[in-house]
Amino acid sequence: MKSLVTASVLALALLVSTAQAQVDIIRDISVEVSLGDPQGNEFVQLRSVPNLQNQVQLGVDTASVFYHGEVVDSLIPEFQPGTPFTVSGNGSINPNPGSTGSFDTEIVALSLTSSLGGGPFPIQFVGARNPLNFTLAPGPLPPAGQTGLFITSHRVTPEPGSLVLLGLGAATLLSSRRRKAASA
């Protein structure tokens, strides 16, 4: 009996340490970005495009991002609609001082590089990892590399198609459980 308790405690300790070292990798991401002047006037709209290499990695205290994107709309000749680009970077994660849970709301500080405007440029997000929803943190607008523009809005969420699949999976699971309960 004592060895069973010892084994259970060791298994629990291993499970907890594994959970603490866990890295969430989200591959189906949707990124929407607006660039503009310091007053918040928008001049350029950017968005991610589906690609198997797109991903956000969120560890306990570190984060990284890589995605492919395209210029959607632009009032500036240097950013032609349809122009492809990539964004990558790494940074740190800290709990938001106003949050209640360990991963309830977090602040992610990244140093990004973009094929559109160089870098690295610092950017800070606030949001949650489950479900994935990060937006630009309040404060001064961060510069968008060496473009002379500022990031006026930035949002990272799951790809809408992923949400549909997740919803269908949950509905199927619920339906099968109801059928099982009804037949029992």
Q: Which residue has the higher pLDDT, 53 or 182?
A: 53
* Tokens representing residue 35 in the block: 């660039």
Q: Are 90 and 60 in contact (CB under 8 A)?
A: no
Percent of the chain with pLDDT over 90: 29
* Ramachandran category for residue 40: left, alpha or beta (phi over 0 → left; psi -120 to 50 → alpha): left
The predicted model gives 73-90 an average pLDDT of: 93
pLDDT at 69: 96
Pick from 5-9, 82-86, 87-91, 97-101: least confident = 5-9
Query: pLDDT tens, 101-142?
Result: 544 678 899 998 999 877 788 899 898 888 888 888 888 788
List, for residues 49-75, the tens digit of each pLDDT value. 999 999 999 898 999 999 999 999 999
* pLDDT score for 154: 86
> What is residue 80's predicted lDDT score, i.e. its pLDDT?
94
Give Cβ neighbours of residue 183 (< 8 Å, ≥ 6 apart): none
Instruction: Please give the sequence-ordered ranges of beta strands (E in DSSP) within the chain, or none if there are none.
Output: 24-26, 29-36, 42-48, 55-58, 62-74, 84-95, 106-114, 118-129, 132-136, 150-158
**pLDDT score at 6:** 36
101: β partners: none
Cβ–Cβ under 8 Å, residues 136 and 112: no
Residue 178's pLDDT is 65
Q: What's the chain's average pLDDT?
A: 77
Q: pLDDT band at 43, cuts 50/70/90? A: very high
Binning pLDDT at 50, 70 and 90, where does residue 159 land?
Answer: low
Count the helices and strands in the chain (H runs, E runs).
Answer: 2, 10
pLDDT of residue 99: 56
CA distance linking residue 32 with residue 47, whole number of Å:
5
